[in-house]
Structure 1
């Protein structure tokens, strides 16, 4: 495998992994601990 292809695959895997982690954090079980600052300051 050429080094350019290996580098592209590793960058793609990193991006997909970070995106998956962000979606899991935003919508998965850890999202229960997130606070909405706009709801905290409603009048």
Structure 2
């Protein structure tokens, strides 16, 4: 396998993984108490 293809695959994989971890941190981390739930606000 070519070195540039390996580097690109590793870089893209790390980027997607870090984006996923950051999204989970934003959703469930310390600041999650301040998030609003639009479905709870408009319950009948």
- The runs of at least 4 consecutive aligned structure 1 residues that moved more than 6 Å come to none
The runs of 5 or more residues in structure 1 that have no matched partner are: none
**Given the two structures, how large is their TM-score scaled by the length of structure 1?**
0.84
**Given the two structures, how large is their TM-score scaled by the length of structure 2?**
0.82
The number of residue pairs the alignment matches comes to: 43
The runs of 5 or more residues in structure 2 that have no matched partner are: none
